[in-house]
Chains A and B, each alone.
Chain A
Amino acid sequence: MMTDVFVIVPCFNEEANIRRTLVNLLKIHPDITVVAVNDGSSDGTADEISALRDERVILLELPFNAGIGTAVETGLLYALRHHAGYAIKFDSDGQHLAEEIDLLLEPLRGGNADLVVGSRFLGEIAGGFRSTFLRRLGIRFFQWLSWGLTGKAMTDSTSGFRAYNREALVFAAKYYPAFDYPEPEENILFLRNRFRVQEVPCKMNIRQGGRSSIRLLKAVYYMVKVTLSMIMAAVRPVKQGRKTS
């Protein structure tokens, strides 16, 4: 039963991949609802989505480029208002594999976790992921920082492939860090507020077309900003977190 599963796909200038991503998603999971959030793309992304003419695909259009955090939050709000039981965040560039959505949902359905994050660096699959030296260094640093701040070492802090149960969805829609590069801060926010966060090993694809939004020039800004956000998320008082039962 997947009718209560909403898959949120934030898209920005992704006309080359978006149609393939969505068609593939619906082929593997025919009874999900896809919430495609067009974040003010300047290319034909919105047209590509509309052209699908599929009632399972909801197109939300932000009037300008508001940033990935806002795009995701818009999708979360839509899912919340339409009584989603589970929400998945799925990248538009084909990086995430539709087949692996079940892996993320399993711990949620079993009641063992509130937020499940797909990790490229967990388990046997880890050896398959190749990346530049600088990127690997950054990944190590975030693993260490996450462990230092919360006591839980998230192996893939920046992973955008994640699934929320209803309670996590309610929380995320309210407190999502709606700015650039939200994922590492989001992990800390959930852990800090006593949600059960679990990582599951995922394969993921290398990027097909398009390019990563993290370029070398931006790397320093990114590291400093994310580090500061993570520390602040860890020391801020607990919000109305998960009810401990």
Chain B
Amino acid sequence: MTPIQWLSLTGSLCFLLLVMFAIYRGYLREGYALLWIAVTCGMIVLALTPRVLDWIARQVGVYTPPFVLVLFMLGGMLLVLFQQSVVISRHNEKIKRLAEELALLKAEGKDVDHARP
């Protein structure tokens, strides 16, 4: 195994542990962790199978097979970032709704106060 394979293997394993620990402590929701876990597991499998790495490198026309690892990681991160953007947008919408509901509720509360004798 080449140094970069060792590096990506140990790096991925450490990262997997970090993700698991975060779920365990409740910092990270299982639903959001699944993509991280999938990407990390993919990295581990690639690092452990140089033949697959070579094959992919030939198919996509990359001269140094370890570069496939870098490509895979970049692709994975792109996916995770995209997922985060979608989640943030969804949260924006929900926070807006909550603020509106709260404003309406406050007004209704005041109405009740006025109605008191």
A and B from one complex: yes
When the two chains form their complex, are residues B97 and A228 in contact, meaning their CB atoms are under 8 A apart?
Answer: no
When the two chains form their complex, are residues A229 and B97 in contact, meaning their CB atoms are under 8 A apart?
Answer: no
- Residue positions of B touching A, CB distance < 8 A: 23-24, 26, 29-31, 33-34, 37, 93-94, 97-98, 100-101
> Which residues of B are found within 8 Å of A225, using beta-carbon distances?
30-31, 34
> Which residues of A are found within 8 Å of B37, using beta-carbon distances?
228
Q: How far is the CA of A232 from the CA of B37 in the complex (A)?
A: 14
- Given A63-B97, A63-B98, A64-B94, verify A228-B30 contact (CB < 8 Å): yes
Find B97's partner among A64, A179, A232, A235 (CB 8 Å cutoff). Answer: A64
When the two chains form their complex, are residues A228 and B23 in contact, meaning their CB atoms are under 8 A apart?
Answer: yes
- Given A228-B23, A232-B24, A235-B24, verify A63-B31 contact (CB < 8 Å): no
Find B29's partner among A179, A221, A235, A236 (CB 8 Å cutoff). Answer: A179
Q: How far is the CA of A180 from the CA of B101 in the complex (A)?
A: 24
> Which residues of B are found within 8 Å of A64, using beta-carbon distances?
93-94, 97
A224 at the interface (CB under 8 A from B): yes
- Interface majority SS (helix, strand, loop, mixed), chain B: helix
When the two chains form their complex, are residues B33 and A63 in contact, meaning their CB atoms are under 8 A apart?
Answer: no
- Residue positions of A touching B, CB distance < 8 A: 63-64, 66, 179-180, 221, 224-225, 228-229, 232, 235-236
> Which residues of A are found within 8 Å of B31, using beta-carbon distances?
179-180, 225
When the two chains form their complex, are residues A236 and B24 in contact, meaning their CB atoms are under 8 A apart?
Answer: yes
Q: How far is the CA of A230 from the CA of B23 in the complex (A)?
A: 12
- Given A235-B24, A236-B24, verify A228-B34 contact (CB < 8 Å): yes
Tell me the smallest distance from the CB of A151 to a CB of chain B, in Å: 21
- List 6 additional A-B contacts (Cβ < 8 Å) besides A63-B101, A232-B24: A63-B97, A63-B98, A64-B97, A179-B30, A221-B34, A235-B24
